[in-house]
Amino acid sequence: MSGTRIAGIGFHVPERVVTNEELTRWMDTTDEWIVERTGIHERRYVKKFEETPATLAAQAAAIAIERAGITKDDIDFIIFATLSPDYFFPGCGVLLQRELGITKTECGALDIRNQCSGFIYGLSVADQFIKSGMYKNILLVGAEVHSMGLDFSTRGRNVSVIFGDGAGAVVLQPTDKPGQGVLNTKLHSNGTYAEKLALISPGSHSGYHNRHIPEAVDYGYDHNTDLGGTFVTQKMLDDGLCFPTMDGQFVFKMAIQKFPEVIQEALHQAGLQVSDINMFIPHQANLRISQMVQRLLRLPDERIWNNIQKYGNTTAASIPIALCEAWEAGKVKEGDLVALAAFGSGFTWGAALIRW
């Protein structure tokens, strides 16, 4: 059976740099407050009406395709991971296909909605397709535009200061070289605490899930009509319910528990140890989380790559962006063992081991 290797990799971030100082114009915060809690100094935001997750993805994909030594028409399947799609539907996969001009082959396109762990989930799906022989050149992308959906006020600062825009892409191909490529992927989820990190409204739940929330929120739905609730209510707008919410402390505690667990699970199956890892690429959720996980795993600084300081949390895009940067810097070389791991909304989490 063939393995799955990364044949090409690329990333693209918007030109606009937004510093912590700039955010102080819109909310009651400081550079020191943001850095202390997240490690972030700046992030990138798209140009309105000019850039979207699909256009960022197209830029990253073009680089990955060129580095893989193939053409766009060689791509036989697309997997697109995002939590911030261009449209509610259709998904971004077909929009990326259109942006790249991959129309003659009419290849399939799959959208992954696993938020922060979307790239890991997409990698696992692609790995199965490659190993089965179904596809030969899979384009896997993680792309996000958070800046269009954040609450840029003091009310929303705990979430809004964290996120940034960007895209990363890889081209995956089969390999017959023993021990090369994706060694394994481990995927997990637990929906018990789904609302601890979520964008709940607008949605089609009409308050149904309130039974899972200790302090239920009134979304202003009209329950006295057979036609169901209104998709967006005035109360949602007035109370800022259309923005992401996060219980930061709860998420932090879960992340530092699940990150090491899933990495150890992947290592155990592969018959490897933490000391065998040459480069660890964590999802860039929060620098403090990455640093805590690094200490728990007892990894030296030179074996972990963090770039949240300059890009913020780009969720599904964060792992491919960081992996590409590390590779471009010469920190990921042929034969290296690379560990990827992510934890986020859902909660969903996962890990992957790759022999470069």
Residue positions annotated with a catalytic role: 116, 283, 313
Q: Where are the beta strands (DSSP E) in 221-347?
A: 245-246, 279-282, 337-344
Q: Point out which residues pair with 335 in neighbouring strands.
A: none
The number of CA neighbours under 13 Å toward the Cβ of 143 is: 33
Q: Tell me the CA distances in angstroms from 131 to 73, 174, 181, 356, one per residue in order.
A: 21, 7, 11, 17
- 89 φ/ψ sector (left φ>0, alpha ψ -120 to 50, else beta): beta
CA–CA dist 265, 262 (Å, integer):
5
Q: Tell me the CA distances in angstroms from 132 to 5, 106, 109, 260, 350, one per residue in order.
A: 14, 21, 18, 30, 22
Tell me the two tokens of residue 118: 């979307």
Per DSSP, 305 falls in state -
3-state secondary structure of 71: coil
- 35 φ/ψ sector (left φ>0, alpha ψ -120 to 50, else beta): alpha
Cis (ω within 30 of 0) for the bond into 90?
A: yes
CA–CA dist 264, 282 (Å, integer):
14
CA–CA dist 288, 344 (Å, integer):
15
Tell me the two tokens of residue 249: 């402390």
Q: Where are the beta strands (DSSP E) in the chain?
A: 3-12, 16-19, 42-45, 77-81, 108-112, 138-144, 166-175, 181-189, 197-198, 245-246, 279-282, 337-344, 348-355
Cis (ω within 30 of 0) for the bond into 202?
A: yes
User: Quick check: 194 and 244 in contact, CB under 8 A?
Assistant: no
